[in-house]
Amino acid sequence: MLVSLFYVNAWICLGCLVTCEYCCSPVVDQELSAVLNELWKLDVNRLKPGKDYKINLQGKADFVSQGTNSARDKASAPLFSYVNEDKLKSIASYACFIKLLDNYEMSTGVAEKVTSKELQENHLFLDAILKTEVMKHTHKYLVSKGQASSDIATFKKQLYDIWFKLYNRDRRGGADSCGFEHVFVGETKYGKEIMGLHNWVQFYLQENLNVVDYKGYKARNKDTPDEDDHVLNLQFSWKGLVKPLGSSFIGVSPEFEVALFTIIFLKSNEHMTKTVVKVDEYLLEIVVCRHGHSIGTSYPKMLSSSNRDM
């Protein structure tokens, strides 16, 4: 059953909190929701909350303006209290994904230098996710829409260009960024603010290194998240910088995120695409911004969960 509600929407893009608030009734994209729910069912590599991982939500984070790198800590403990790392390492897509996380310069303006080993790791990751049912179904759907070639090698190159092709995010330097780095790894702008970092595995690993500090969850007063949720709006610091409001899927596989964001990226040529979908019990706004023929940023934003609205 679809959730019908009014909500206050704070528009967020490229890691910035923009106070463009208005009341509206979200229009759910039914066709896209159906496709994404098929992918959700096929995501056998999604980890199970309470079994494969545990999160500790703690307190609700305060409002922090963008660029202010101090925030009251409403969470004295890490977000992740447990993750089954053996399971992560035993699943090819996760194992290949984790190897990519140390391949990038943190700050924009510093040109990336891709080694032959890193190039091979990019291809091994794409090979791994293309073997999953999630990506097979995604490929089939995109072919049916005329948005991808039926040739798997051509589709892989398309994915490579969308996610791994380097471009200039900061015009002062060389090619310093790509969609994968921004969304899954995270980067900083002028060394002063966090951009991206919307992936739960990276967040967990950075918490383990004591360079990410979870500050608390972000939510409407009547929609407090629970520890079984697979999507979370949150606040955190990373290497001394604060992200006032971020968002991330929790527990889902890398292939599910690549599939979802790729489908929405290809459905429109607009600089920014914002789509409301109902996936499983979650009413989400998915935001994807383009950087030419590649992804600039992409992330989910939790609007509501039906298990709290019934």
Where in the sequence numbering do the catalytic residues fall?
182, 198, 243
> Distance between CA 134 and CA 36 in Å, rounded?
10
Strands (E), the chain: 7-8, 12-13, 16-17, 23-24, 53-55, 80-83, 187-189, 193-195, 212-217, 231-238, 241-249, 272-279, 282-291, 294-305
* Residue 269: CB atoms within 10 Å: 9
Q: Distance between CA atoms of 148 and 87, rounded to whole angstroms?
A: 32
Distance CA 237, CA 147 (A): 38
d(CA 257, CA 275): 15
Given a contact cutoff of 8 angstroms between Cβ atoms, the answer to whether 11 and 18 are in contact is yes
